[in-house]
Every structure is written in structure tokens, then in C-alpha cells.
Amino acid sequence: MTQPIRILLQTTIPTSEDDWDIKRYSLLRDYLSALTDEAGNPLMEVTTRDRQASNDQDEPVLSTLDKSDFDELWLFAADIGDSLTAADCAGITRFWQRGGGLLVTRDHQDLGSSICSLGGVGAAHYFHTKSRDPDTLQHDRDDSFTTYID
């Protein structure tokens, strides 16, 4: 039997009833957890969690992720730029450098902009107030109906 891929689904925000905390990703968790090989063995072992530290404190799992037994981190960055600490970014970067897989995603405007400091990943993202896209043609509004979201 092959060992299942150990995936951490993690948000950059604490648990919240009215925000994009980890409960919003329950269908993804359930789907991944249900995948099996031909013999019925699970292909993935999924752990889900929200940020467990205040914004000025290191997140206990992310800051030491390189010492964990996770194979992949799927990071859902829903913060407004004040979530990942230097130690969190360093732990994730060391995890990646040791061969851990990363899926890092965020949303519109500045949501998830704390990933700017994430080695090798942050530079791939542009935000409205941090790491702006150098192509000024990309600064135009692309949704003329939802004008409160850029």
C-alpha cells in the first residue's frame, strides 16, 4: 500500500462565522479525502485548520512546517496583509525548499497580500497597495457591476 499524500488545507485567517475560514472549503476536504486507489486505499490524508495565532504572533504550524510530516500545503490567503509573520514565511519557504508542495491562492484587491513575503511565491502575485502590477494597463476596473470590489 502506498502512503497517502498528506495535505494541509490552511487559511491565513482565524475561525470566523462570516469569512472565508476553513469551513468554506469543506467540499474540497471531503472530495480529496474520498479519493482512493484501485484497492480502496485513501490517496490523500487531509488536515484542515485556520490560523491559530493573532496577527502579530507566529502561527505554530506554519512557522515550523518544514519539520512537519505534511507533503503539501494548500494555503488559502484571505487576510488583508497582516497575517503571515516572518517566521511563518520562513517555515513555509523551508518546507518548499525541502520538496514540499505548495498551492497558494488568494482573491481580489489586497486579500492575501501577506504572501508577498513568501519566498519564491509572493513575487508571482500583484495586489492593489502592495506589489502593484508594473503594467499600468492592468490597473483598470474589470468588473463594472460590482464597483466596490477591484
The string of pLDDT tens digits covering residues 64-123 is 999 999 999 999 887 776 778 889 989 999 999 999 998 888 665 555 556 656 666 655
Task: Please tell me the predicted confidence (pLDDT) of residue 150.
Answer: 54
Q: Examine residue 20 and state whether it is found in any structural domain, yes or no.
A: yes
Angle (CA) 27 110 17, round 5°:
40
Domains of the chain: total: 1
Q: 47 near 7, Cβ under 8 Å?
A: yes
| Dist CA 149 CA 138 (whole Å) | 15
- Domain assignment present for 146: no
47/1 Cα distance (integer angstroms)? 21
114 found inside a domain? yes
Decide if 26 is inside a domain: yes
pLDDT band at 38 (very low <50, low <70, confident <90, very high): very high
Query: 149 lies in a domain?
Result: no
Q: Is residue 83 part of a domain?
A: yes
Domain holding 128, by residue range, is 5-139
Q: What is the CATH number of the domain that holds 48?
A: 3.40.50
DSSP state of 72: E
From residue 11, how far is each of 99, 101, 111, 125 by CA, in Å? 21, 16, 12, 17
Helix (H, G, I), strand (E, B) or coil at 136: helix
150 assigned to some structural domain? no
Q: How far apart are CA 98 and CA 107, in angstroms?
A: 27
Cβ(4)–Cβ(37) under 8 Å?
no
- Of the chain, the percentage scoring pLDDT greater than 70 comes to 67
| Position 118 in a domain | yes
